[in-house]
Amino acid sequence: MAKKKGCMGCSFPVAIVVVLAILGVGVISLLGGALGNALLGDVGLPSWLLAQSPEVHLPTDVIFHFLGFPITNTIITAWITIIVLLTIFYFGTRSMKLIPSRFQTAVEFVIDYLLTFCEDIAGKKYGRKFFVIVATIFLFVITNSWIGLVPGVGTILVEGADGHMVHLFRPVNTDINLPLALAIISFIFVEYWGIKTLRLGYFKKFLNTHRFFQGFKELFSGKIKQAMGSLFNGAIDIFIGLLEALSEVVRIVSFTFRLFGNMTGGEILLLMMVFLAPFLLAIPFYGLELLVGFIQALIFAGLTLVFATIAITPSHSDE
* Residues lying near other proteins in the complex (CB under 8 A): 58-60, 69-72, 74-75, 78-79, 81-82, 85-86, 89-90, 92-93, 96, 98, 100, 107-108, 111-112, 115, 128, 131-133, 135-136, 139-140, 172, 175-178, 180-182, 184-185
Contacts of 62 (CB under 8 A, 6+ apart): 70, 71, 72, 160, 161, 162, 166
CA atoms of 90 and 160, how far apart (whole Å):
33
CA atoms of 296 and 126, how far apart (whole Å):
23
Amino acid, res. 189:
F
Nearer to other proteins, 75 or 282 (CB): 75
Q: What minimum distance in Å lies between the beta carbon of 156 and other proteins?
A: 20
Q: What minimum distance in Å lies between the beta carbon of 114 and other proteins?
A: 9
CA atoms of 88 and 218, how far apart (whole Å):
65
Q: What minimum distance in Å lies between the beta carbon of 274 and other proteins?
A: 23
Nearer to other proteins, 174 or 208 (CB): 174
CA atoms of 281 and 299, how far apart (whole Å):
28
Nearer to other proteins, 139 or 270 (CB): 139
Nearest to 172 by CA among 139, 205, 203, 199: 139
Nearer to other proteins, 12 or 79 (CB): 79
Residue 285 in contact with residue 267, Cβ under 8 Å? no
Q: What minimum distance in Å lies between the beta carbon of 126 and other proteins?
A: 15
Four-CA torsion 264, 265, 267, 271, nearest 10 degrees:
130
- Identify the sign of the CA torsion 134, 135, 138, 140: negative
Q: What minimum distance in Å lies between the beta carbon of 287 and other proteins?
A: 27
Q: Is 268 helix (H, G, I), strand (E, B) or coil?
A: helix
Nearer to other proteins, 169 or 202 (CB): 169
Q: What minimum distance in Å lies between the beta carbon of 216 and other proteins?
A: 44
